[in-house]
């Protein structure tokens, strides 16, 4: 039962470097999400994808891009990392219907120095 | 836009004490309500959920929550906490036909043995 798998688990970047966070789910879910978690701020939505081929901005999209590669995979890219992007990033997926819950990956702890 | 308020940011209890964590939301229409738990260093896991029916919802590990529509609330309760309940607790709400959950800022619970 893999569920939602994120890679990497930890990453340190220098300011200005780029990287892609990978996420894959094996539950045949339509919808996928990227959140960032910061102390005292809870989880804030960065981008989401209602279904394969569609993506939309969430609450805090600046500095990020996403790709819904196929139904299973939803990646998050930082083109030019900034210290303000130091955070824990969570990928989640859900069936997309109203009476379903979201399932979360293990998270990626990113530090930008 | 939906907003979710968790009034208790930090709660410290001794084992066997009773727990109640508050959650209020802003949207007055049809809602789906969730409580998630995040143990130290882990991802978010679903504790319980409300979609419809009995407003008193029972979840895993002895937790329960009551949906009070007139108060826009979905408070989490546990009659007797254990040291292993030390974690961060997030309330989430989905509403207005949107499948995207909005999260509160979280409550950090520390239970002393």
List Cβ neighbours of B25 (8 Å cut-off, separation of 6 or more).
B2, B3, B4, B5, B31, B33, B72, B73, B74, B91, B93, B95, B102
Residues of B with a Cβ under 8 Å from any A Cβ are: 6, 9, 32, 34, 36, 42-46, 49, 51-52, 90, 92, 94, 97, 99-106
β-pairing verdict for B24-25 and B4-5: antiparallel
Do residues B36 and B89 touch, judged by C-beta distance below 8 A? Answer: yes
Per-residue pLDDT of chain B (113 residues; tens, 9 = 90+): 788 999 888 999 999 999 999 999 997 788 899 999 999 888 899 999 999 899 999 999 999 999 999 999 999 999 999 999 999 999 999 887 777 889 999 999 999 98
List Cβ neighbours of B41 (8 Å cut-off, separation of 6 or more).
none
Closest partner CB to B105 (pick from A40, A48, A58)? A40
Give the H/E segment covering residue A19: strand A19-25
Q: How far apart are CA B81 and CA B63, in angstroms?
A: 9
Closest partner CB to B43 (pick from A90, A94, A99)? A90
């Amino acid at each position: 039962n893999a569920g939602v798998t994120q890679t990497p688990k930890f990453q340190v970047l220098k300011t200005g470097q780029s990287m892609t966070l990978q996420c894959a789910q094996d539950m045949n879910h339509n919808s996928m999400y990227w959140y960032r978690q910061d102390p005292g701020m809870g989880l804030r939505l960065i981008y989401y994808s209602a279904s394969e081929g569609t993506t939309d901005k969430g609450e805090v999209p600046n500095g990020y891009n996403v790709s819904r590669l196929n139904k299973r995979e939803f990646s998050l890219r930082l083109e030019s990392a900034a210290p303000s992007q130091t955070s824990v990033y969570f990928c989640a997926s859900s069936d997309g219907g109203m009476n379903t819950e979201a399932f979360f990956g293990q998270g990626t702890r990113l530090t930008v120095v | 836009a939906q907003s979710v308020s968790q009034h208790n940011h930090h709660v410290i209890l001794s084992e066997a004490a009773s727990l109640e964590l508050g959650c209020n939301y802003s949207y007055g229409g049809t809602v789906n309500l969730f409580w998630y738990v995040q143990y130290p260093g882990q991802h978010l896991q679903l504790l319980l959920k409300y979609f419809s029916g009995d407003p008193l919802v029972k979840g895993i590990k002895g937790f329960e929550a009551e949906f009070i529509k007139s108060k826009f609330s979905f408070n989490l309760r546990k009659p007797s906490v254990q040291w292993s309940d030390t974690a961060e607790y997030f309330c989430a709400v989905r509403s207005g036909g949107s499948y995207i959950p909005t999260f509160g800022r979280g409550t950090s619970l520390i239970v002393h043995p």
